[in-house]
Structures are given as C-alpha cells and as structure tokens.
Structure 1
Amino acid sequence: MLGIFTAHGGKSLNQEQLNQALALTSQELANQLAEEKNTKNLLAVQLTDAQQTIASLQTEIKELTQQLDEVTKPEEIIEQEGE
C-alpha cells in the first residue's frame, strides 16, 4: 500500500489521485469478492451433484451385490431353503 503514496518518482500523490487509487483498489476488491462468491456457489452446486451421484452409485452397488449374492449362493443353502 505504501507504493500508492510514493508513486511518480517519490512525489506524494495529491488527494484526488489518492482517492482514485483507493477507489480502484476498492472496485478491484469488490470484483474479486463477486468472482469468489460465484466460484463458491458453482462449487456448492458441483458438490451437491457429486453427492447425489455417490448416493445413487452406492444404491446401485448394494442392489448389484444382492443380485450377485443370490446368483452365487452355494448349492446346499439353496437346497436348505427349498425344504
């Protein structure tokens, strides 16, 4: 920040130049904040989507595991269930 006060070869900025520099800095910070908020919101949407995908895949894994268990049961267990 000290650079603002000693620009132009070491001469002090006048009040108008200082105000312009601070206004620009303020606008840059506001722009950066808006951009970071947008990024945060996008990441939140992507996270929610990923969590839904994970939940769906976990359900599918459970269903497929049950189907696999039914198909690969040992013969004696199947016979015992039939009695």
Structure 2
Amino acid sequence: MLRAFVTCARTGSVTRTAIELGYSAASISDQIRQLEVHTRRTLFQRTPGGMSLTEAGRRMLPLAQDILLRMDFLSRCEEKH
C-alpha cells in the first residue's frame, strides 16, 4: 500500500503507477483506498486529469518514503546473511 501511495504521488496517475509496479489499475486503486481507510484520511484528490495529494497526503508522503527506504535497507541486509 505504501509503495502504491508513494509511486502514485510521484506519477500522479493510477495507470502509470500500475504499469510501473506491475499491478492492475484496479489493484492500485484498492490499495490506496485501503490505506485511506486505515489512516482515516483522504490522501488524494481524484480528478479526470489524475491524482494529486491532499494536505494529509503531503504530510504522509515523507513518512511513507522513509518507511519504504528502511524496509528496502532491511531487505538488502537480509540478502547478505
């Protein structure tokens, strides 16, 4: 969910996020919706032109990026052992 959120924030598009991450657009939309339910915040404004972060989404973005960086670091550490 976090990777979908961060990627969609960067691309501004569910379709481009789906292509980049190798999921269907419906799956990406579901993941973002689940994250919004979990956080009880609307993270994106949805428009015909794409997705843009809400204020809550802008506040959450650096936290999500940090979590993903740490998760990626842990994955690399585990691969070495």
Using structure 1 for the length normalisation, give the TM-score: 0.33
- Name the one with the larger strand percent: 2
- Name the one with the larger helix percent: 1
Highest relative contact order (Cα 8 Å, sep 6+), 1 or 2?
Answer: 2
Using structure 2 for the length normalisation, give the TM-score: 0.34
